[in-house]
Chains A and B, each alone.
Chain A
């Protein structure tokens, strides 16, 4: 289709709007209510254009382009109309720009300037409406509202939440909640980010900085494994000497193909930890029983001496390292090298993804060549099967894509889980299955597909077929129905749908704390993906959403004992020019046992707190105190850092250069926007300081040099070349493994735990806005159980396991399965980890039996 816009010729696909054609032609059309994520609305009328042959003026945003159209955008007639529209908007607008947070980044202000509206023919009273401040995080200043409706539409069309609506009409019209109650939503911040004026504003940002004095840097989010690109707005004293260097806010990046300009609560309000008063500002070295402030040379000497002493007394295998899945690729690589070369110990693990749980199994599949589908494939799919995974909560931006595909993209969403969540309401089939039965469900579906693939002769070259076939032979529909709690009919229907779909996609999260998932879960998912690939003739259609910002990168960099950067030991030895100690799997659980048994005497922890972040947290707390020597590198004081002989203060992602690798292998790089706090130093510089003390060559004048070395082992890693795309695939035999701890007796509930919208890892707890939103866990329970225990919404309850307890506020979810309680994993002061058992060596999911009682 060809058309002419402002005398420029442009060709565009049928179905596109005039606005899209203009964008392609590079012609600017002013808009106030348009957002590419939303359905056309046409309310602001700013985008009116003249089309030759049409007497009426047409809105470019909602009018489909037609072949041969001749469009004018900048005629005097149109500009006069735009000036009038702006005049009318400005009649009631409070014009309080001097105190408005949007000033300098306001569409109304910009357009008023652009169209030269300096006076108007109309006058009436200005709006003077009290600011609504009763919601957490978000303020509504309705006097400034221009009724573009973007916030209301984003909340509905993008997020599927509908937490705000229009009310009243005419002069009394406003955007808000029913009866003015405080907003109770996901606090994803997308309404604030989409507001073209200052009507919706962020409380943490209020009156803090002027947008025109802020600098912008494109970065990547430091929370979950989605890896959304974020814009960091910061003040730069080098540009404006009267400012203090600080990160002031984050904004979504609408040029990011992955996010399309959306973000989530953690991305929007989770940046405050960077300037938290709880940050470690100086190194500490233990003298006697007390930790004393130290300088860097002394602290690094103490750390090196301590580690060296243990290694020489007990052997290098007595020294181990743990690295956080929020550490950057570069740090992970250096720690891996420091441990292996400097200390000669292969005892290193990246436990957010370990335990012999789902992630380890899945990660190994991925590293062995199972490609993980990128976010775009969610949109392209016609069937989405999500099993015991609520991406809208654990990975909210992927959740947006799932919702959009299900609501507008014609995809069938099949949601199978023990919990009723937002996805339940938008699912074509909402299947409530017994907790931990997802593995069986997927194995059964694999069995059904096997027959179909066989009939079509698609099994050639698939390894492990025989073992897999015999392992699922007895897994009949009846047996699966009993295990999962859904009917044989539903199961058959599900298998038929998978067979009929053209582009099915499995959506799987495997978070360390999803206690109902064991290694069998990840295996069943991978098997099903391999079989679907054969059936549909595509890459294995599966999204394995990783938990933290760098869960995947840490493993790519060799952050686990049995993995090497690039996966090839010989190559590593060649590049490092040293013999690297061979190794077999060392999971966090094994490490814990070795510390308890006194076999590991010294530990280097980079960036996490085992007591609150690892399975068997209570045991970790004690184990750390057994160590002869503990070095903790972290940005906050933790239970671990308080037990450490040497504490090395690290920096947040906003203070350093680095990169994170997201779930699908996309590498997001970032640069420092603020100076390290106090004496804190970037982790990679500290690690280089230690490498020097161990005589390891570390000739990296900058991060580019280090990345260059990494790319020798992982070609193209930082430039986004696809890796690990080995064809084939191996089916693994399916063995149901069950749980380490089952409910029964006094502890009659099974506790499930996962990532929440507001708390993830240790950063969120130090971000004031997120912590205020979720100061204590929200404990979910089914309606039936609540009646039986005489509990109601908002009751304060105590969840008690054999190892620990936590207190939270009860939320009754009618549709949750009976016998299960669900708690968010990382709420400060109420870590689910403290209740959880440690995994065993059989790869079973841990499970966790708990009792629930009301606190009076």
Chain B
């Protein structure tokens, strides 16, 4: 078909889409592989904008609405571009009573963005999550794959400064 060149979303490039196609091809015949494919696509693209979701849906032969449903259901999937570093502050019961909310407030003030958003310089994506599974060290925060326990507002601000 005479394809009109679709406008690509921020940060999405043709080589990245090619990689996504590879993933789709690899898992096309594996039943129940949608979540796996979405994960891999997010690793490649950083997030899952409409073009990527639709590409996966059409490629796997799944309804676009179903893919959208899965993406919006799991908090691990993002439909917005993400910063280079992902900060997560735990709001689980233990962390919350130990002052997780104060940590979050301090970070929000430092980054000048509310929880659930990305800084305009695309350096940080700042999220609040519910239980990171390390309640014994509450309050807990993570940056990318690094975990930090027993943090306080000051420490937290210092920690993120180390991530350029």
Contacts and interface: CB of A to CB of B under 8 A. Distances in A.
21 contacts: A156-B63, A162-B65, A162-B66, A164-B65, A165-B63, A167-B65, A167-B72, A168-B73, A169-B72, A177-B64, A177-B68, A178-B53, A178-B54, A178-B64, A178-B68, A786-B1, A790-B2, A792-B1, A793-B1, A812-B1, A814-B1
A787 B1 CA distance: 5
A168 B72 contact: yes
A179 B1 contact: no
A158 to B, nearest CB: 14
Nearest to A156: B63
Contacts of B3: 792
B149 to A, nearest CB: 28
A164 B65 CA distance: 6
B124 to A, nearest CB: 24
A397 to B, nearest CB: 22
Contact of B4 (A169, A783, A792): A792
Nearest to A176: B65
A856 to B, nearest CB: 16
A237 to B, nearest CB: 43
A791 B57 CA distance: 25
Given A178-B50, A179-B50, A165 B68 contact: yes
A177 B1 contact: no
A495 interface: no
B15 interface: no
Contacts of A169: 72-73
Given A167-B73, A178-B53, A783 B63 contact: no
Contacts of B69: 165-167
Interface residues of B, number: 17
A304 to B, nearest CB: 59
Interface in A163-194: 163-169, 176-179
B67 interface: yes
A333 B17 CA distance: 65
A156 B3 CA distance: 29
Contacts of A791: 2
Interface in B61-111: 63-69, 72-73
Which secondary structure characterizes the binding site on chain B? helix
A294 to B, nearest CB: 55
A178 B67 contact: yes
B32 to A, nearest CB: 16
Interface of A: 156, 162-169, 176-179, 783, 786-787, 790-793, 812, 814
Contacts of A156: 63
Interface of B: 1-4, 50, 53-54, 57, 63-69, 72-73
Contacts of A812: 1-2
Contacts of A165: 63, 65-66, 68-69
A786 B2 contact: yes
Contacts of B64: 177-178
A748 B10 CA distance: 44
B58 to A, nearest CB: 11
A168 to B, nearest CB: 5
A793 B4 CA distance: 9
A791 B65 CA distance: 28
A787 B72 contact: no
Nearest to A812: B1
A341 B50 CA distance: 68
B128 to A, nearest CB: 15
Contacts of B67: 178
Contacts of B54: 178
The residue in A165, A169, A790 that gathers the most chain B C-beta atoms within 10 A of its C-beta is A165
B33 to A, nearest CB: 18
Most buried by A among B1, B50, B72: B1
A148 to B, nearest CB: 16
Nearest to B53: A178
A791 B67 CA distance: 30
A166 B66 CA distance: 7
Nearest to A172: B72
4 closest cross-chain pairs (CB), A and B:
A165-B65, A178-B68, A162-B63, A165-B69
Given A167-B73, A787-B2, A814-B1, A179 B68 contact: yes
A678 B52 CA distance: 57
A795 to B, nearest CB: 9
Contacts of A168: 72-73
A163 B54 CA distance: 14
Contacts of B50: 178-179
A792 B65 CA distance: 24
A509 to B, nearest CB: 27
A649 to B, nearest CB: 46
B65 A178 contact: yes
Nearest to A814: B1
Contacts of A178: 50, 53-54, 57, 64-65, 67-68
